[in-house]
Chain A
Amino acid sequence: MMQADNDSTKPVIELIGLNKSYGTRQVLCDINLSIYAGQVIGYIGPNGAGKSTTVKILCGLISDFEGTVLVNGVNIQQDPVAVKKMIGYVPELADLYEVLTPLEFLELMAGLYQLDPAVSKLRILKMLQAFGLGGNLDQRMDTFSKGMRQKVLLISGLIHNPSIIILDEPLSGLDANSVIIVKELINKLAKEGKTIFYCSHMMDVVEKVSDRIVLINQGSILADGSFESLQEMMGKGSLESIFAQLTSTDNLRDTASEIMDAFRQEGGIHE
């Protein structure tokens, strides 16, 4: 299902005038974004900024939005199935069917992506072994740790070799060594021309992994550019401090002081 179109002037993902509200609450306001092949987009923003709503729209989970979403030229509202075929999605802290073994679960996933069973079986085994789960192939996942489940989820998002990969906090629960593996994996996938949409709160990882950072807050894009261009705009500093400058209305150090003050200013300790 690889997209043969290598024309880098044509965006792989195009969000045009994207609006979404739940009742009276506007979650996304007029998002316009063009993403090109081989880009690793770090999609960051504070809690409730609209990150996961964007991801859900891109994955075809939410279809009642205003605006246009094109993936490789296909309108997601008109043909969600075609778009879903091109996308690999690794959800955040997702549930698994725990009573299945990883092998069974991934065979189900591969089947839904319409892969040839012979091909997918081999691929699943190789990937599970590479992630160190070779010894747990036939063990039900209700015994798995958070990190082991996350590995299975990662495989389930990559199994069909998608041209676009959407990762929502893919490192949660992984140990330090697995984090290194996944970061390296993201680099390798991007080099092969895959487009990666990386959602995270971990600024240091986003800073290292992404070549373009999109920062949203309260449903609107505040900044969009490479880490270097953001630094030029906001002054030298880590992504963490740039993030704080753009999204926080208060001085965060003052907030910490206020928290400490809570001990001092009270009249007496309540029992």
Chain B
Amino acid sequence: MHSGRKGGFMNKISAFFFWLALLPGSLYRRMGVDLVQLSLILRYKLIMDDRRPNTFQQTQVNRKKEGISRATYGTMLIALLMGLLNLVAFAMGADELTYFTIYFSLFLFLLSSTLISDFTAVLIDVRDTVILLPKPVHDRTFLLARILHIMVHMFRVIVPMLLPALVFLAVEYNWQVVMLFLLAALLASLMAIFFINAIYLLIIRITTPEKFKSFIAWFQIGFMILIYGAYQVVPRASSMESVQNFSVQDYSLIGLFPPYWFASSIFEGAGLDGVRSWGWLLLTVVMSIGSSWVVIRFLAPSFNQKLAMLSGGETGAVAGSTVVSGMSRVGYADRLANWFTFSSVERAGFLFTWKWALRNRGFRMRVYPAIGYIVVWFVISIYRNVLQLDDNEPESSSIMLSAAGLLGLIYLSCFIFISAIQQISQADEYKASWIFYSSPVAAPGLLLSGTLKALLAQFFLPLAVLLLVLGISWQGMSAVPNLLLGFSNQLLISGLLLLVNYKKLPASLPANKADATGNFLRGMLMLLFNGGFGLVHYFIYSFPVVVWISVVLSGLSVWLVYRRIARVSWSEL
């Protein structure tokens, strides 16, 4: 068996999976794959995985010195926790077939989402284009190396994720169930890998490679929002009782639902009650292996070609269209800048931040999901306030309900700009921030206030307009002072946040320099602070005079804080 060459060292877990992945060597050779090259590429890909910092290790100070070689362990720990959470499936539903169907749904879901988020890093490593593709290696070898790499990568997640369920099943059932479950889980994993792989390859065939990257980013954002929405809506929509009585066997179309196939295929050998059919097991095997065949046979050949173009300099026509779409935006941004900024430096900060926040993929990826969560919240609140107001509740309580709802929306909207303020200083291209330091700006405060205003104009202004409309339509003009107080408090909180924590120029720090643990604590403090404001506001809500006085006080504080920001000096950064 091939053990690769001497070179870098993998950690033990990676080495084991490496050995496992190359076990069917003679099969690979028959497929026309060069084994030496395959093992070499896979080996180094795994070594690089181990050295890539994960979320835990990015904050380590002595990273350069010792390097990271155990990134894998952290990933596995998270997967183990997810696996424990998945056990909830065995508490939902009326029968065992339902348990397993729900378990496999959760399993496939978590696996697919991990795959999707990792694919950009693992599968679409654009460096491969210049480094690997000019080498005399067949497309087939590349593809298999990539698939094996993904599989190893996934199995490092799958094994710890399955572990809690395996222990649970061994205790509650018998070894037959455990074995069948393991088999079904492996087939399910295989199917998830090839299914997602096929989707990616298909997308890359249909669209231009240039659009592909931003498509993935948008897809990931949408996906995160979907998950969040599901978590918010599902428990509300159905009561616990109906969950307990739920059985998949009541639905005839369940046969179209892949998790059901895996669940059903367990029952045949284990002698449990359920739909007995070898057909399901056969179906899973055929689907898993069939999809891999389709990927290798039809989709792979064009993949490397497209990948080559992905990092290429073919930007001609596309660049043109980007500029055009940017132009109309700039007109709008210019007008906003005229309204909100009072000096050329502040205006420069405003316009730079406005454009950068709109166009930078990394920033969008970090901030837009937060917006999605708020949108979900909005929908739920409107649903509660508008649709359920007609219930036969006493008049007063329904007004207080919408007061809480409205204030909830106003004070929650800070999540969006808080994450925007937190993220605006981080960028991959942070080195380009020399322009701020080399230009003759006496104090960076005006740049900062321009930045803050741009973020508020982008992430708070549209929301404020929407809330104004909603608030007035819910409660008439009497809501205006409360809305004003809410908005003013939001401006105050954003200003204080920047002043206390984030006196950093936009796009001026490397992404992993951020002090994650400190950020978390500060974020929590900020939430308490914001919640405190909201709570006080809630108590004075029905006293217009108090509200008006508070508006004046809050407005005055906003003016003072923003004036202070404009005076931040270089030494304070």
Which of B8, B138, B312, B316 makes the CB contact (< 8 A) with A100?
B8
Are B136 and A85 in contact, CB atoms less than 8 angstroms apart? yes
Are B135 and A117 in contact, CB atoms less than 8 angstroms apart? no
B78 at the binding interface (Cβ < 8 Å): no
Question: B19-44 interface mask toward A, CB cutoff 8 Å, 1 = contact, 0 = none?
Answer: 00000000000000010110011001
Q: Within residues 478 to 514 of chain B, which ones have a CB less than 8 A from any CB in chain A?
A: none
Are B137 and A81 in contact, CB atoms less than 8 angstroms apart? yes
Are A107 and B136 in contact, CB atoms less than 8 angstroms apart? no
CA distance A85 to B135 in the complex (A): 7
A94 closest partner in B (C-beta): B130
Distance from A216 Cβ to chain B, minimum over Cβ atoms (Å)? 16
Question: A62-100 interface mask toward B, CB cutoff 8 Å, 1 = contact, 0 = none?
Answer: 111000000000000000011011010101001111011
Are A112 and B40 in contact, CB atoms less than 8 angstroms apart? yes
Are A271 and B37 in contact, CB atoms less than 8 angstroms apart? no
Q: Tell me the total A-B contact number using a CB cutoff of 8 A.
A: 100
CA distance A48 to B315 in the complex (A): 10
Residues of B within 8 A of A104 (CB): 7-8, 44, 47
With A25-B316, A99-B51, A100-B8 as known contacts, state yes or no: A61 contacts B133, CB within 8 Å: yes
Count of residues in A whose CB is under 8 Å from the partner chain: 41
B235 at the binding interface (Cβ < 8 Å): no
CA distance A109 to B133 in the complex (A): 11
With A96-B131, A117-B6, A140-B67 as known contacts, state yes or no: A108 contacts B52, CB within 8 Å: no
Are B37 and A114 in contact, CB atoms less than 8 angstroms apart? yes
Residues of A within 8 A of B137 (CB): 81, 84, 112
Are A95 and B344 in contact, CB atoms less than 8 angstroms apart? no
Are B48 and A97 in contact, CB atoms less than 8 angstroms apart? yes
Residues of A within 8 A of B34 (CB): 114
CA distance A242 to B131 in the complex (A): 35
Are A117 and B317 in contact, CB atoms less than 8 angstroms apart? no
Are A91 and B130 in contact, CB atoms less than 8 angstroms apart? yes
Are A108 and B40 in contact, CB atoms less than 8 angstroms apart? yes
Residues of B within 8 A of A271 (CB): 344
B316 closest partner in A (C-beta): A25
B68 closest partner in A (C-beta): A99
Are A56 and B131 in contact, CB atoms less than 8 angstroms apart? no
Q: Within residues 39 to 56 of chain A, which ones have a CB less than 8 A from any CB in chain B?
A: 48, 52, 56
A22 at the binding interface (Cβ < 8 Å): yes
Distance from B145 Cβ to chain A, minimum over Cβ atoms (Å)? 11
A267 at the binding interface (Cβ < 8 Å): no
Residues of A within 8 A of B132 (CB): 112
With A84-B134, A108-B40, A108-B44 as known contacts, state yes or no: A117 contacts B8, CB within 8 Å: no
Residues of B within 8 A of A59 (CB): 133-134
Distance from B303 Cβ to chain A, minimum over Cβ atoms (Å)? 12
Distance from B151 Cβ to chain A, minimum over Cβ atoms (Å)? 20
Are B133 and A95 in contact, CB atoms less than 8 angstroms apart? no
CA distance A22 to B320 in the complex (A): 14
Are B134 and A89 in contact, CB atoms less than 8 angstroms apart? yes
With A97-B127, A100-B44, A114-B36 as known contacts, state yes or no: A81 contacts B138, CB within 8 Å: yes
Distance from A200 Cβ to chain B, minimum over Cβ atoms (Å)? 16
A168 closest partner in B (C-beta): B130
Are B37 and A112 in contact, CB atoms less than 8 angstroms apart? yes
A226 at the binding interface (Cβ < 8 Å): no
Distance from B437 Cβ to chain A, minimum over Cβ atoms (Å)? 21
With A96-B127, A112-B137 as known contacts, state yes or no: A63 contacts B344, CB within 8 Å: no
CA distance A111 to B44 in the complex (A): 11
Residues of B within 8 A of A140 (CB): 51, 67
B64 at the binding interface (Cβ < 8 Å): yes
Are A56 and B308 in contact, CB atoms less than 8 angstroms apart? yes
Q: Within residues 15 to 61 of chain A, which ones have a CB less than 8 A from any CB in chain B?
A: 22-25, 48, 52, 56, 59-61
Distance from B31 Cβ to chain A, minimum over Cβ atoms (Å)? 16
Are B5 and A107 in contact, CB atoms less than 8 angstroms apart? yes
Residues of A within 8 A of B6 (CB): 117
A113 at the binding interface (Cβ < 8 Å): yes
CA distance A262 to B545 in the complex (A): 59
B44 closest partner in A (C-beta): A108
CA distance A22 to B316 in the complex (A): 9
Are B136 and A81 in contact, CB atoms less than 8 angstroms apart? yes
Q: Within residues 92 to 139 of chain B, which ones have a CB less than 8 A from any CB in chain A?
A: 126-127, 129-138
A143 at the binding interface (Cβ < 8 Å): yes
CA distance A99 to B308 in the complex (A): 22
With A22-B317, A25-B316, A81-B136 as known contacts, state yes or no: A95 contacts B40, CB within 8 Å: no
Which of B7, B41, B130 makes the CB contact (< 8 A) with A112?
B41
Are B5 and A61 in contact, CB atoms less than 8 angstroms apart? no
B6 closest partner in A (C-beta): A117
CA distance A61 to B139 in the complex (A): 12
Distance from B122 Cβ to chain A, minimum over Cβ atoms (Å)? 13
9 closest cross-chain pairs (CB), A and B: A84-B136, A99-B51, A95-B127, A112-B135, A111-B40, A85-B136, A89-B134, A59-B134, A61-B308
User: What is the interface of chain B, defined by CB distance below 8 A to chain A?
Assistant: 5-8, 34, 36-37, 40-41, 44, 47-48, 51-52, 64, 67, 126-127, 129-138, 305, 308-309, 312-314, 316-317, 344
Q: A82-B136, A97-B44, A103-B7 are in contact. List 11 more A-B contacts (CB 8 A).
A: A25-B316, A56-B312, A59-B133, A84-B135, A95-B127, A97-B48, A99-B47, A104-B47, A109-B131, A111-B40, A112-B137
Q: List 23 A-B contacts (CB under 8 A).
A: A52-B312, A52-B313, A64-B305, A81-B136, A84-B137, A85-B136, A96-B127, A96-B131, A99-B51, A99-B52, A100-B44, A100-B47, A107-B7, A108-B41, A111-B5, A111-B37, A112-B41, A112-B136, A112-B137, A113-B135, A117-B5, A117-B6, A142-B64
